[in-house]
Structure 1
Amino acid sequence: MNAPNRFELFVLDDGEKPVEVSEDTKIPNAATFKIMKQDHTLGNMVRAYVLAMPQVLFAGYKVPHPLHPYFLLKIQTDGTVTPQVVLEQACTKLIGSLSTLEAKFKREFSFKDVEGAVTEDPYGTTGTSGQPWGSGRDYLDF
């Protein structure tokens, strides 16, 4: 099989840098970032946060090949800030948003624990008598 081992998709090798930056010589105020051991999940989120910044003229990402665990992110700014600064600010905002989402998620589940200790059947297979819908029936019988 051509697929690499699963751990090779997210664990950095010894001495491997997580981000490599290369300045674009043909386009002014542009740079390409190679983000190692990541995929579309992070690439799309970072691109969206970079595009939300007013100084950005262009931002796009691509995963060159699905078997290679990295993506390329190209950023072009209007010249008031560098692409590196824009990427740092976007990542900071993204981390803040994810922290807020995590806090809300944990808060909602803590409310569920406090509301009551009623054990619910997630499949809805138990009736009011505590028995399955009837003798000899399972949740696939409608």
Structure 2
Amino acid sequence: MNAPNRYELYVLEDGEKPVEITEDTKIPNAATIKIVKQDHTLGNMLRAQLLSMPQILFAGYKVPHPLHPYFLIKIQTDGTITPQAILHQACTKLIGTMSSLETKFNREFSFKDVEGTGVGVGGMPTEDPYGGTGGAGGAWSGAGRDYLDF
């Protein structure tokens, strides 16, 4: 096959820089940033985070070719902050958001473990949609029923 080895898509080679910044000479307060060994997942999250910041005039990204593991993100600010500094702020906020999401996710699963006593509404045993017992009940509580019954 012509596809590269999988590890080449995310492992940096010796001396390879993960981020390259190119100042734009034609547009004021703008830069194009190449982020290596990443794809649409990070590109879209960074773009969305940047667009939520008031100092940003433009933020967009593209993956030039699916076989090349990098994306380009273009940032233009209002001049009160540099594109590099606003990208750093966006990354910091994004890390905080992901940390908060992980905490909420783990908390919800710990509630499921506490609620997983196997007793539902009115003392009736609850049924898990995947065949086990326990869970929070709700629409899945009912003996002998599955998702096709609703």
Taking structure 2 as the reference length, the TM-score comes to 0.79
Matched, 1:33 2:46: no
**Per-residue CA shift, 1:37-66, capped at 9, x if unaligned?**
100010000001111111111111000000
Corresponding residue number in structure 1 for 2:82: 82
What CA distance in whole angstroms lies between the structure 2 residues aligned with 1:93 and 1:30? 21
Q: Secondary structure at the match of 2:25?
A: coil
Shift of the alpha carbon at 1:122?
A: 3.7
Q: Which runs of 5 or more structure 1 residues have no equivalent in the other structure?
A: 134-138
> After the TM superposition, which segments of 4 or more aligned residues of structure 1 sit over 4 Å from their partners?
124-128
Structure 1 residues 5-84: aligned runs within 5 Å: 5-84=5-84
Shift of the alpha carbon at 1:16?
A: 1.0
Which structure carries more relative contact order (alpha carbon 8 Å, separation 6+)? 1
Corresponding residue number in structure 2 for 1:136: none
User: Which shows bigger deviation, 94-103 or 12-21?
Assistant: 12-21
Shift of the alpha carbon at 1:21?
A: 0.4
Q: Residue type matched to 2:130 in 1? A: Y
What CA distance in whole angstroms lies between the structure 1 residues aligned with 2:127 and 2:88? 45
* Larger proportion of helix: 2
What CA distance in whole angstroms lies between the structure 2 residues aligned with 1:57 and 1:27? 12
What CA distance in whole angstroms lies between the structure 1 residues aligned with 2:5 and 2:61? 24
Give the total of aligned pairs. Answer: 133
